[in-house]
Structure 1
Amino acid sequence: MPAKTVSKSPAKKASAAATTAPQDLGPAPVVLLVGSEEHLADRAFSTLNARMRELDPTFERTDVSAAGYQKGQLSTWTSPSLFDERSLVLVDGVDAASEAFVEDVLEYLTAPVETVVLVLRHRGGNRAKKVLDAARAVAGVVEVSCQPLKRDQEKVDFVLADVRRARRRIDVEAARALVAALGSDLGELAAAVDQLLTDTDGTVTEGAVHRYHGGRREASGFEVADAAIEGRTGQALVLVRHAAATGVPGVVVVAALAARLRQLAKVAAAGRGRSADVAHDLGMAPWLIDRARRDLQHLSPEGLSDAILAVAAADHAVKGGGGDAQHALEKAVRTVGEART
């Protein structure tokens, strides 16, 4: 009986790319700045530029665009100098590159010039993705993720890291307050951190943040949900109206309320047990279990049920189900807040 042949899919090429944070970037044969967050890309390139200057104050820098590229230009930009001096070539807009650039850079990546640091800025999408794939296989390549920070906690971590690098301290609540005030723009958030560190001494407190940025506040859906579930009904209503005034969709606020109530319902149904064990069973972080249990001490089963029904009605309204969506949302917030005993 003839032996069976087993077809094998081609092995995936292993990536040689090392990843690094923007502020840790140093010279490498090829540097990838991938993602649409401009502040992270700018920070990475500024760091790289400074470190190149430390190594060679006379290095040559070339800034070009991949979109209007003409065949053969890359070899001109990356040609070794007569005395093997260092050079830095930043190619912007690789995600909009011409076919001529793709062809030339793929050829260049087979044998990068030792004295050249080639930076490829790609903001996302599938165009010229094969350039990224080829670059990631080059020995010594370094990649910096410039993806947007979408979650508030990611932005809080960003603030904490910036303050830590400055050898200062900031209260976590102060970092959260700063994100609440300026979280939609990462560059503005970073500038605010720098300003606070310049204008204050010692630990940066929540009070200091409110003194400088108390007039600006971007109410998030989860901020509304937290205030309502903790029984701060008046504050929750102020936040939900501010959210509407600053363009936060009602569906986002309702989703946050629903998510928090689902957590409470799941933890209530799980009963007693170690937080770590319950967290494992429910797929939640242990600190979320502890917070939910604290909240449940002030919520009756009937109150939780009423809150869930009110949020369901608001969800129907904000998704076009009829009635005044803002009124339904505020009613849900009030019901959640008043459910706390």
Structure 2
Amino acid sequence: MARKSRSSSTSSALSWRSVQLAPVTLLWGSEEYFISRAKTRIRAQFMERYPEADRVEISAKDYRRGELAAASSPSLFSTSKIIEVDQLSSMSEDFLHDVMDYLQRPEQHIAMVLSHNASNSRGKKLVDFFRSSESFPFVECKPLKTDREKLEFVSQEFKDHRKTIDAKAIQLLVAATGADTAELASACSQLMSDAPDVVTEELVHQYYGGRTEVTAFKVSDAVVSGNSRLALTLLRHALATGVDPIPLVGALAARMRHIAKVYGSRGNTTVLASELKMAPWQVEQAQRDSRRFSEQDLAEIFRVLAEVDAQLKGEGTDPLFALEKAILTMSRS
């Protein structure tokens, strides 16, 4: 099959959400959840076209010369197969040789899915081939690293299922589920399944309100709104029920960093969001929050946060008192 080169104006990577069936697809990245979703999507498309197809799994690490040719040959029961090859980051030279040869003449009625966890440059020749090809999809499956990426992921999950979720509810859900993408996706799925058409902040709190991250979110919300009484009440309740205070300080610091980033800024929200690597609604929220503070307030708040962080990590004799003092300082600014 002849291949075309992607033009310089075209992104070299496609989305795992929208990957379409192709003779051979490379999934590139270390996020197993996205790899699984991409594989499931490709399998469904292939099985819809070839319901009787076989599924074959191959390890590129343990591969021996000729396995691809044998796997792609018609079997006694089916001529159609979906071949999934994992462990490309440890691929053998035999596999690299055979797959590069196969890419020049892919078999009909075969869909091959290759998975490379991007942990090293093993098989660079193969990866570069996919990056420059328009015929064979190169699909990024990278982890969600920033809050913005997680927030956009949740928003898109609900949009794909024609459900609505409030901006505040998205923030709370991301705070509740931490860094694990699969857990975040599972939470989205549960809410979409159990909840009405619109998911609110109150509903997310009902499902996940017992988690430390949610408490931290609520405390930081009270602090930046200037409600010192509520902030202290939430803090004391959290500490009395065994919540670790360090994540609370982390949540407060993250909220204040957003405020500091946008402080005094004007102009198009979308442009600012792109420049600051934040979601547009995060910029709008931080701009609203920033109106309560002066430059001197922000400087004092970051000093207090650094001090309480050090005390919580062993440098103070009464870190919880220091935390209460920090909450009051921030909420009364």
TM more than 0.5 = yes
The answer (yes or no) to whether the contact 2:79–2:109 under 8 Å persists in 1 is yes
Report deviation, 1:151: 2.0
Distance 1:254 1:205, change over 3 A: closer
Q: How many percent identity over aligned positions?
A: 32
The aligned residue for residue 234 of structure 1 is: 232
Which residues in structure 2 correspond to 1:149-160 (within 5 Å)? 149-160=144-155
1:40 Cα deviation after fit = 0.9
The reply on whether 1:59 has 2:58 as its aligned counterpart is: no
CA drift of 1:41 comes to 0.9
d(CA) in 1 for partners of 2:141 and 2:28? 5
Which residue of the partner structure matches residue 146 of structure 1? 141
Query: Which one of the candidate residues 177, 196, 200 is aligned to 2:172?
Result: 177
- Of the three residues 109, 115, 119, the one matched with 1:125 is 119
- Choose which of 101, 104, 113 in structure 2 pairs with 1:107: 101
Aligned-residue offset at 1:94: 0.6
1:70 corresponds in structure 2 to: 64
- Alignment correspondent of 2:186: 191
1:135 maps to which of 130, 133, 136: 130
Shift of 1:213: 2.4
**Take 1:19 and 1:283, find their aligned partners in 2: how far apart are those partners?**
22
Q: In 2, Cα distance between the equivalents of 1:246 and 1:129?
A: 46
Corresponding residue of 1:4:
none
Q: 1:66-114 CA deviation, whole Å, 9 max, x = no partner?
A: 1111122122122356999332110011112122222222222233223
The answer to whether the 8 A contact 2:219-2:248 is kept is no
User: How far did residue 49 of structure 1 move?
Assistant: 0.7
Q: Is the 8 A contact 1:307 1:332 kept in 2?
A: no
Matched, 1:35 2:29: yes
Determine if the alignment matches structure 1 residue 275 to structure 2 residue 273. Answer: no
Find the structure with the greater CA-based Rg.
1
Q: How many residue pairs were aligned?
A: 319
Instruction: Write the letter of the residue equivalent to 2:330.
Output: G
List runs of 5+ in structure 2 lacking aligned partners.
Answer: none
Greater alpha carbon shift after TM alignment, 64-73 vs 229-238: 229-238
Structure 1, gaps ≥5 residues long:
1-11
How far is the alpha carbon of 1:52 from its aligned partner?
0.8
Equivalent position to 2:92, from 59, 81, 98:
98
Matched residue of 2:213: which SS? Answer: coil
Query: Residue 215 in 1 paired to residue 210 in 2?
Result: yes
In 2, Cα distance between equivalents of 1:235 and 1:114? 66
Sort the Cα spacing of 1:157 and 1:217 in 2 relative to 1 into closer, same or farther, 3 A: farther
The 10-residue stretch of structure 1 (230-239 or 194-203) with the greater mean CA deviation from structure 2: 230-239
Q: Per-residue displacement from partner, 1:248-285 (whole Å, max 9, x unpaired)?
A: 597x5586366246436x52xx7xxx5349x77x9547
CA contact under 8 A between 2:24 and 2:111: conserved in structure 1?
yes
| Alignment match, 2:110 | 116
RMSD, aligned α-carbons: 4.0
Question: Matched residues in 1 for 2:135 and 2:237: separation?
Answer: 49
- Alignment of 1:245 with 2:240, yes or no, is no
Contact kept, 8 Å, 1:86 with 1:116, in 2: the verdict is: yes
